Amino acid sequence: MGTSYSYCIYGASGHSKVIIEIIENLDGKIHALYDDDPLKTNLLNYSVTNDSSIFQLTSVQWMIGIGNNLIRKKIAEKHGLHFGLAIDNRSGISERAVIGQGTVAMPGVTVNSSTTIGAHCILNTNSSIDHDCILDNYVHISPNATLCGGISIGEGTHIGAGAVVIPGIKIGKWCTIGAGSVIINNIPDYSTVVGNPGKIIKQIKNQ
């Protein structure tokens, strides 16, 4: 990302604040923020609009500043926007890693060799993702979470703050892994897991 890029951010929330500062630190330009709440008019001294005509702009890249994985997916699929990346310059991303459009990497993130990150993921502060991991779209890795090598994570899954996933584990789609959990077994789709070692406390079937 360089100075030639101009960005619009969908959402005016705390997550948007982090994206704004990432873009500022990389000398990018914030063109505008959009939020459908008419009461939101300013964020970090940037104007917020609820005028949907902004979606017609063709000269900007978009980022979704909303932390909820399902809402982020709905927005991304609804508008057909051109999405960029927001990779903090204090993160360490391997040149052999692949990162999908719309993904955010916050300060202190590490992504090691041969890892693939999907679209519209959130790699939160000081999270660590080791070699040969595969993260599907709309995944959120919370602050200080650790993914060891060769891990697979399905669409929309949220890995809680400080959680640890041991090498080679497969976690299904739309799971919630509680903060501080230690995952030593594969986790099926739509599961909620907590504890050390992690135990499934809820599973929604037939989604």
Query: Per the CATH hierarchy, to which homologous superfamily does domain 87-197 belong?
Result: Hexapeptide repeat proteins (2.160.10.10)
Answer yes or no: is pLDDT of 2 > 60: no
Residues with a known catalytic role: 131
3-state secondary structure of 38: coil
- The ranges assigned to domains in the chain are 6-84, 87-197
pLDDT digits (tens, 9 = 90+) for 56-71: 988 899 999 999 999 9
Rounded distance, CA 170 to CA 181, Å?
A: 15
134 pLDDT tier (thresholds 50, 70, 90) = very high
The pLDDT of residue 3 is 44
What letter represents residue 53's amino acid? S
Spell out where 35-101 has E strands. 42-43, 46-49, 61-64, 86-87, 92-93, 98-99
- pLDDT digits over 99-119, tens only? 999 999 999 999 999 999 999
Q: Give the integer Cα–Cα distance in Å for 121 and 72.
A: 9
pLDDT digits (tens, 9 = 90+) for 93-102: 999 999 999 9
Q: What is the model's pLDDT at position 206?
A: 57
Q: Is 57 exposed, middle or buried (0-12, 13-18, 19+ CB in 10 A)?
A: middle
Q: Which two tokens stand for residue 123?
A: 């790699």
The arrangement of strands across the sheet holding 182-183 comes to 92-93, 110-111, 128-129, 146-147, 164-165, 182-183
Domain 6-84 in this protein, CATH class: alpha beta
Answer yes or no: is pLDDT of 131 > 80: yes
Mean pLDDT on 172-185: 98
